[in-house]
Amino acid sequence: MLEQILRGLQQGQMMGVPHRSIQLISEFSGSFRVNSMAFAGFDKYNTGGKIILPASALTLLSDIAAASSGPMLFRIANPRNSLKTHCGVIEFNAEEGHCYLPGWMLRQLLLDEGQAVTISGVSLPKGKFVKFQPQDPAFLEISNPRAVLEYVLREYTAMTVGDILSISYNRRLYDIKVMDLRPAQAVSLFNTDVQVDFAPPPGMDENGQYIGAGAPRKPTPPATATAGRAVTPPPTSSTPPPAPAKAMVRTLGGQAKPVDAAEVAAFLGHSPSPPPAAAEKAPSPAPSTPSDFSWGAGVSLHGRAYVGPAKPAATATTTTPGAATPPAPAAGMPTPAPSASPAAAP
């Protein structure tokens, strides 16, 4: 153990950590290589607000730790971009020359694994008020989010305005942004009563309604006529209706002539019946019965199309005086051929 402490003191001196005992926390300052808690195998500390320092740091802070009854607070700064946050310490068993940070701190400071950071001791005022903003609306679906935050805050000893903390609840991670702190931009949360307030998540108002680009789109109401503005009628199909079917007849001169339904109706002197509606079922045709004539098309002597009744050829019959008239055939039965009458006696 003694060899580890001596080696830590030598490593700390090389990294810029003072190798003498200090009396004030503000005198502590050093440069360390940073690693995430998950990378170092400390997953249980990956969502808190405390870091792990090497044993050499404990040796330097031993006098302060013995004289103080509260936690030691530190400022972590990225020398590349001047981003900073504040935290506490939970253990002193990191590899010498390294420090282990929660994952959200690396993201907050834009740090890479193994990058050098500056850690300095600080004294912060006790916090009185903190305002959080959940980054995910799903956090509001928790039965009691205020109680969850108050319980999770025990893992944090310091906070800075602008920090986006990572909170684990019910096997799920939630990001919470620190919107406001009082009485300073960085405060201590140790042994103090803090009033907690909430801001709505991004894209939502105070009533929990979505606003701006995150709001669900409402259906567009149908266009209505208004004073001083004409309503554009809906577009109609540009496909022309199909041309009416035509029948071809041939004149006496041998020329073919088309005949459509309009010409047939004009010739007969009435209008053709409109076609049945598409939605309605067309009535079934009536059963056919024998009639004396049927409609057909022909050609007149003047070469014009003729549509009219075409009577069947009459059958010549001879009636013998005094002979009985045969009964009429039943409907649908063929008419029997007439029998020849006997020759008259000379």
| CA angle (9, 15, 18) in 5-degree steps | 55
Q: How far apart are CA 139 and CA 200, in angstroms?
A: 11
Task: Return the SS3 of 116.
Answer: strand
Q: How far apart are CA 156 and CA 159, in angstroms?
A: 7
Task: Return the SS3 of 308.
Answer: strand
| Nearest C-alpha neighbor of 15 from the set 62, 56, 69, 70 | 56
CA atoms within 13 A on the CB side of 241: 3
Q: How far apart are CA 149 and CA 134, in angstroms?
A: 11
| CA angle (5, 8, 9) in 5-degree steps | 90
Q: How far apart are CA 110 and CA 340, in angstroms?
A: 124
The mean pLDDT values, 10 residues at a time, for the chain of 346 residues are 42 47 78 94 90 92 71 94 94 95 95 95 94 89 84 89 91 92 94 89 77 55 49 60 61 65 62 55 53 45 48 47 51 51 44
Tokens of 75: 């400022």
Q: How far apart are CA 261 and CA 221, in angstroms?
A: 45
User: Residue 183: what pLDDT?
Assistant: 95
pTM tops 0.75: no
Burial class (CB in 10 A: 0-12, 13-18, 19+), 306: middle
User: Residue 76: what pLDDT?
Assistant: 97
111 neighbors 148 (Cβ within 8 angstroms): no
